[in-house]
Structure formats: C-alpha cells, structure tokens
A and B are shown apart, each in its own frame.
Chain A
C-alpha cells in the first residue's frame, strides 16, 4: 500500500499558524486540507473536461438548452465565484445526481458506506490484534528466526497486490477448501431478511437476533477483512518492533532487569507501556490507508461498498459519483489522519 512508507517523516512541516491551541490548530489545518481536497475535485470536475456543459447535456443538444445549462451551472461567473458555489454545494451535501443510479449521489454514498466501514473496521481489528503482539515478539527476540519471519511478512505487505491476493484467497479458501463464503455480503436466500438499521450487516443481524444470518454474514466478511488486515498488520508489526527496540535500549529497562524484574514484565510493563501513544498514530494511519485499500478488495469480492460504487462510476464516466466518492473517502482519510495526530499531541506530554 503506497501511502505507508518505511521512512518516518524526518522533518515536520513548518506551522502556517501558531498561537492557537492544539484543538484550534487541528480545526484550522483540517479545514485547510479539506479545502485543498475540494480545490482538486473542483479542478477535476470543471476544468479538465474540455466542455463541462457538453459533458452534462451531450453534444446533440440545441443551442438554447446549451446556453441555459451553461448559466445554470454558473459557468458565466468568474472562476472564484464558481468555486465558492461549489464549496457551498458540497457542504450542504449537494453532490449532484448520479447518471448510473439516477439517485442523488449523497443518497448513494449513505447507502454504500456502511459496507465499506464494516469491512475496514473488521480488518483493522485483525491487523491490531495480530500485528501489535507480532511486533513486540519480533523486538523481544530480535535477530531470531521468528523476527526474520515477521520481517518477510512485513515486506510482503509492500509487494503483494491486494486484488491479486483477493483472487487467490477466493480460489483457495472459497473454491478449494470451502472454509469461507464467496463474493458478496450474504448468501442470496438470506438477502433482505433482516431490516436495515445501521447498514452494518453483522450488527443488524445481531439486533434482529438472527444468529444464522449473523454467521453467514461473518463467513462472507472474514476473507476480505483478513486480507485487508494483513496489509495493516504488516505495517503495524514493523512500526511496533521499531518502537519496542528503542525502548528496550533505554536505561530504565536495563535497571528493571538488574533489579530482577521478570522478562515478561520488562517487555509488557516497562517497554510496551510508553509506546502505546505512538501506536495510536500508527493504527490511525493504517486505518485510513486500509479504507483506501478496500476499494480494490471490494471489486474482487463484489462487496457493495464505496469502492465498488466508485469504480462502477469510473467506468461509466459518471463524474458526479466519482467526485462524490472521492470527497467522501478523502474526508474520512483526512479526519482520521488529523485526529490521530492531535491525539498523539494530547496523550504524549513530551510533544506539548
């Protein structure tokens, strides 16, 4: 996954604003980044197509229709006014109509997002539950075969295409071994049996008290989530190992050992305790990247989430839907990024 790099950012960017509190800066920087995102989507939507009016009405429209649409889209106004109108539209949830579904884009997004959220959240849980202990063990036994194994797993996380892993996973665990269910969120005969409350199918099934549907949804969910989890596991384990090694080098760890504290207590109490704040940032970052990575996985597993919606729109040149989905994923990405950053500042007294 491309956004995860083995490099720590060696230098923080200069602060454009100073004198505000942590929360004030968080709000301002988040707003600025969001505005940057909207500038890019505005640019893509309005300027890149040679004639945005033709993109809407088609090239066989009469001159009157063309002119009316031209004015209706505000294209006779200066660019800066157009952008202001665009920002207002986005903030009020007006992303336009989707050409392929015929519904407002915002309705589609609300409908498709829970599926993505469910898969990604399940994935990050797997990544954290396995990745953190793996990183700790790798650091505690640095240089051993188990450390090497975890290192290789970590590198594979940077080298294996997610969609390929999904295909191979389906071939092996669904078609070959029959351990999990196939593509989609439910077997076809369970479809529509539980009322949609949250849109998170496993949760909805539990709310309806239907264990059979819950287990079926779970067996559909487990493979795509595990594959997503593998990619965040690779990153989380690698970072945990590096943080732990730094701690195990410290003098207080040596002191604890000299005092005769058991090795297990040294590792989990003395060394692991201080790094939990750094881990928050790492987990937040990998959750954001995982949401992005779910796009490719959703296609392979015919998972009815934002990724599938986005790519279907891409292939039918449904620009409103493409930009709406881009803004949604981008916004979630920015908010998670910034929140984990600000949490780090609040939780770690040294960074104040």
Chain B
C-alpha cells in the first residue's frame, strides 16, 4: 500500500480535510467497482466532450448542403451516410450533441431549484403550507407529462427555448416530493433546533442547512430523469415542435428520415442510436450514483 492509500483509508482521520478526502475516496472506490456506472459516466463524459469539440471532431459542416451526394449509404467518406440534402449525418449527430446537452442542462437548472425550494419549504414549515404546496405538486404529478408538454408548446409556440420551458414545467414535481421527504427526516433533529436557537432566520435555515442535505437525492433523481427528458425533447423535435431546421436536433433528424425509412434506412436510424446510447448512459450513471450516494433508496437490488 502506498502512503497515500494508507492516509486515505485510515481508521482515525486526524483532520476534517483527511476525513472528507477519505469519504470521497470511498465513494469513488465503490463507484468504480460498478462497471455499468463507469460506462454511464464515460458515455455522459463523451457527450460533453463531443458537444464542446464538435467543430474539431466533425468531418463536415452540419448545415452545408451537397445535392450531388444526397442519400448516400454509409461509406468510408461518410461513415453514417448522408441525408436528403447531402449533409453528412455523422457531423450532424456530433453537432446535435450540443442541443441535447443544452436541453438537459437547462431543464435541470430550471426545474431542480423550483422543486427543491417548494419541497423544502413544504417540509420545513409543515401544516397548511405543506398541504397546499403538496396538493399543487400532486395535481402536476398526476397529469400526463408528454401531453402537458405538448399543450404548453402549443400555447407558447414551437422552438427550442419553449420546448425547454415546457419540459421544465412538467419535471419539477418529482423533485419537490423528494426534497420534502428528505426535509421531513431531519426537520425535528437537534442541529436544526440549535441553529434556530442561535437566531437564524427561516430563510437561512432552509438555504444553508436544509437544502444542501436534499442535494444528493435530488442529483440522483435528476440524473435518472435525464433519459426521460431526452426522449420528451426528441419527441417534440420529431413532431416539429422543438428545435427548428436546419438545427441538427436528433428527434427532428429522425422525422426528416421518416419518408426514406424503407429505402434509405440510415437517415432515420442513426440519430435514434445516438438518443438510445445517451439515454442509457444517463440511466447507468444514475443507477450507479444511487447505489453509491444513497443506499437507502435502492430498489430491486
């Protein structure tokens, strides 16, 4: 054993810093033991790298048309073939990673804080605040998500930005439920009472002491929800309600390839594989994070 490893696995850490490092090391160790979780992390990491370096990685431009090369099957020149305007499908999928990443990040950034705050406030104050907030949450939770997203997009108008807003509106209730459940478990514990006795305001107790403790289960849930968010976004794109052409959104690309599915199968099929791989990646990563960060919530073993 190297000294570093001994230091990280010490039974009695001598400083807070060492204890934190040891905990991070233990989490990393159990994460790395789960091959699917590592695969998921690799896929999500690849998505981020591809999104950032798309211009470097893509062999062609995603929008440049070349009508003499339309609907070419996969070949050495065009690995995944070309679409009906002669655009390289591989390049469009690589650029499309940017749109997918933008959607999932924006939906998470909008819906997770809303859910967290509503759930934490409901759990912290209890009583009528709790009942009313949870009744609203329940109403949203018992409505069909895809249909509601469709109705919101219909009202707001088609487009990438409105699709993100519509998905975020349907995504927050699950996080509110989780934040409330977490808050209830330590609502009456002594450290909360101690902070209150020191004169901390409600705002401070919730913001500084309650919310951070709700974070890990929310992060797990958000990661697991990513696959669903990607599928909903792709569905909106497929219907022509999401990102508009010529943006290389994966769902919209499948929709364009629909007319050629029988003869030029690659146009619609390839973007579908991209969606499946990325969604699976988020599922694997979420499952792995749940096992590591929150063994209590494991289901189905």
Contacts and interface: CB of A to CB of B under 8 A. Distances in A.
Interface stretch (B16-24, B27-35, B49-57, B149-157): B149-157
Nearest to B286: A6
- Chain A contact residues: over half helix, strand or loop, or mixed? helix
A338 B142 contact: yes
Interface in A96-141: none
Contact of B227 (A44, A158, A241, A337): A158
Contacts of A322: 150-151, 154
Query: Which of A7, A16, A313 has the largest count of B CB atoms less than 10 A from its CB?
Result: A7
Interface residues of B, number: 65
Contacts of B265: 171
Interface stretch (A160-168, A203-211, A262-270): A160-168
Contacts of A323: 151
B111 interface: no
B211 interface: no
A329 B135 CA distance: 21
Interface stretch (B61-69, B76-84, B191-199, B271-279): B271-279
B45 to A, nearest CB: 18
B146 A315 contact: no
A13 B254 contact: no
A329 B144 contact: yes
B300 interface: yes
Interface in A1-34: 1-3, 5-11, 13-16, 32-33
A102 B113 CA distance: 44
B109 to A, nearest CB: 18
A238 interface: yes
Contacts of B134: 13-14, 16
Interface in B129-185: 130-132, 134-140, 142-148, 150-156, 174, 177-178, 180-181, 184
Contacts of A13: 134-135, 137-138, 177
A295 B147 contact: yes
A32 B138 CA distance: 10
Contacts of B254: 161, 163-164, 167
A241 B177 contact: no
Given A10-B178, A171-B262, A330 B144 contact: yes
Interface of B: 130-132, 134-140, 142-148, 150-156, 174, 177-178, 180-181, 184, 221, 224-225, 227-229, 231-232, 234-235, 238-241, 251, 254, 257-258, 261-262, 265, 268-269, 272, 275-276, 279-280, 283-284, 287, 297, 299-301
Interface of A: 1-3, 5-11, 13-16, 32-33, 36-37, 40-41, 44-45, 48-49, 142, 155-156, 158-164, 167-168, 170-171, 175, 238-239, 241-242, 245, 288-289, 291-293, 295-296, 299-300, 310-311, 313-315, 317, 319, 322-323, 325-326, 329-330, 333-334, 337-338
30 contacts: A6-B300, A7-B297, A13-B135, A13-B137, A15-B131, A32-B139, A33-B142, A36-B140, A40-B151, A44-B152, A44-B154, A44-B155, A49-B155, A156-B276, A156-B280, A159-B283, A161-B235, A164-B275, A168-B261, A238-B300, A239-B300, A241-B300, A296-B146, A299-B239, A310-B150, A314-B241, A319-B154, A326-B151, A330-B144, A334-B142
Given A40-B148, A175-B261, 6 more contacts: A14-B134, A40-B143, A159-B279, A161-B251, A164-B276, A333-B144
Please list the 9 inter-chain residue pairs (A to B) with the smallest Cβ-Cβ separation, ordered nearest first.
A2-B228, A36-B139, A11-B181, A242-B300, A159-B279, A164-B272, A48-B155, A292-B144, A13-B134
